[in-house]
Structure 1
Amino acid sequence: MSAEIELRHARVRYGPLEALHGVSLAAPHPGVTVLLGRNGAGRTTALRALAGTVRVAEGSVLWRGRDVTRLPAHERARRGLAFIPDRQAVFGSLTVAENLELAAPHADFADALSAYPQLGPLLGRRAGTLSGGEQRMLALSRALLSHARVVLVDEPSQGMSPAVTARTYELLGGLDATVVVAEQRLPPGLRTGARPVVVHELRRGAVVFSGEAAEFRRPGRAPTSAE
């Protein structure tokens, strides 16, 4: 598997504070890459740098070997990148059906409803009235319908039950796409999937581990709250 999207020596600053200290990491195609880290580790910032929603002060973002560091987020989206942030990932004033229509204007919702049948009875509801887990399902369904080549998701399972979480990672792992997720813990089941899962652990804005999930061990280090 070759690298689809990557950061090279990326530095990201929020005012005087540097959140990423020369981070280099790569995500293969197809496959799942997990960015692990505690609160303030930099995993969310790394995801946003790949998406183009934060500026890389130094270093670069490469997509299929081409430098897209200065390419704006909307242009990356147009070229096949879907980004699902941890908050405000759906259009709250629109119905569930209208949110799905934006992702796939000329298609039906069969794939989305097959992935998450729970959304079927909610098609007429405004997305802003859904529970947190239902909004995550809707946001992920929009990404599935878009057939994006790169899917970036901050905390995919936020607010979901264990059963829906397992279903979500089954869906993400089966996509013919580069999937990069930011998580506090390595999701159960990923170590033994059909495809190798890449893990990059971040701590205080730096990568402290890069390798396959089967090699990853973190004894005695329980993550805390999300970024």
Structure 2
Amino acid sequence: MAGERSKVLEFKELNNRSIVNLFIILIIISSLIIFSLSWFKQKPIKSYEIVGLKYFKKEFIDSILKNQRPENINESNLSKALSNLDFVQNVKIYRTDPEKIVIEVKEKEPIIEIAEKDGIVWLLDSNLNKIENKYAFASFPRFYCSSQFEQKNFPAEIKDIVKIMAQIKRNFPKFYRNISEVRINGEEITFFTNSSRTEVKMMKRNFPENALYVERLLARKDFLPFLKKELDFRFDGFLVVR
């Protein structure tokens, strides 16, 4: 009995030592990981890559980085600075190696270009966020506004055209890409195409079904005879070509 009890005690002692040794090893590994991460983040950034830009110029992000002091270039400071740009919805910054960061930008998606009567031009996204036109390298359909407006204080015509253009961009991309200008006169909408200045007229109440017809027409080769003409959908159920 005494021998068996001694063996049990020895086993427990060995087991306890193993647990203590394992605990010490885990502490050492954790310390090394924490030290490595800290060292990784403290290394000065020497290069960067910008990804995610589709509509806007990277030069504005470049200029922010150039104006930053080397010791201030880190993920947190850059994220705050870039979030102040009109066109940035959110930004994610991470390191791919100790001296390089990747700046992953999610843009606001412009829907239309608004030209005010004093010549100021803005971009608007589907949430009515104003974006300075200087940031964009892509072109968007233009709408001439008859009055000035402030952020979040938009006239009804602006809200209507943004809603209409957002739906056209989402559901009828070929038609959207061909629109250079759009006008609203009461319940009537007129679209002008990019190169041919073909006029497409329709009513607000049934623009989705007419836009679908134009979308299908643009996908066909026999659209050429309609170039530089007027396509009038304002008569329910009929297309008048002038």
Q: TM-score range by the shorter chain?
A: under 0.3
Per chain length, whose mean CA-contact separation is higher, i.e. which structure has more relative contact order (CA < 8 Å, sep 6+)?
1
Larger radius of gyration: 2
- Structure with bigger helix share is 2
| TM-score (normalised: structure 2) | 0.23
